[in-house]
Amino acid sequence: MTPDDLVLTPLGLRFRGRRYPCSIGTGGLSAFKQEGDGATPTGVHRIVGLMYRPDRMARPTSWAVPISPRDLWSDDPGRDDYNHLVSKPYSGSHESLRRADPLYDLILITDWNWPYAVPHRGSCIFLHQWRRPHYPTAGCIAFRRDHLRRIVQGISYGSLLIVRG
């Protein structure tokens, strides 16, 4: 473990000597994550992507990719592209990355059950903006907008997210 790792603790997320309050999944932490359980998976995960809304903010880092109006994330365990970025039109179950609310204006993507997804093991564990302080997520980790932006400014592709159970 290094100071550049993101470490989820009961008191918040620790990163580069700071502690950030955050929300986790409504199902708490789980070593046995399943699709739809609302849990945040424990373990060591890598940051494998960063996406942002170019109509709402400037590109935050050189490795950030813009979210287009067609971008979706498949959460359909019966599809070969389960737990992957897909595009409209898409007939399988999915989550839109271009939302009306600001939750996904900036998202860090983890390698939870990716790139070789096991059906029903869970999809799209992101770090994103919270709805309101400590409001639970569907399994992601959520932050205050300014805190998420600060984390994004200091993180690198491949950084570790450590979630202890």
Closest C-alpha to 129, from 119, 141, 121, 118: 141
Name the β-bridge partners of 6: 161
Indicate whether 153 pLDDT > 80.
yes
d(CA 52, CA 2): 26
CA dihedral 159, 87, 77, 105 (to 10 degrees): 40
pLDDT bucket at 156, cuts 50 / 70 / 90: very high
d(CA 100, CA 67): 13
Quote the pLDDT of residue 116: 96
Residue 87 lies in a domain: yes
Indicate whether 147 pLDDT > 90.
yes
Report the number of distinct structural domains present in the chain: 1
Q: Which tens digits make up the pLDDT trace of 45-89?
A: 999 999 999 999 999 999 999 999 999 999 999 999 999 999 999
DSSP assignment of 118-134, as one string? PTTS----EEEE-SSTT
Quote the pLDDT of residue 3: 77
Quote the pLDDT of residue 165: 78
pLDDT bucket at 1, cuts 50 / 70 / 90: confident
Contact call for residues 66 and 98 (beta carbons, < 8 A): no
Residue 44 lies in a domain: yes
Residue 130 lies in a domain: yes
CATH of the domain at 138: 2.40.440.10
Per-residue burial over 149-162, b if 16 or more Cβ lie within 10 Å, else e, is bbbbeebeeebbbb
- Give the list of residues 6+ apart from residue 31 with CB closer than 8 angstroms, or none: 41, 42, 43, 165
Residue 92 lies in a domain: yes
Closest C-alpha to 128, from 158, 98, 157, 156: 98
Indicate whether 29 pLDDT > 90.
yes
Q: Which domain holds residue 49?
A: 6-163
Residue 132 lies in a domain: yes
Residue 105 lies in a domain: yes
Residue 1 lies in a domain: no
Quote the pLDDT of residue 87: 98
Q: Which tens digits make up the pLDDT trace of 81-131?
A: 999 999 999 999 999 999 999 999 999 999 999 999 999 999 999 999 999
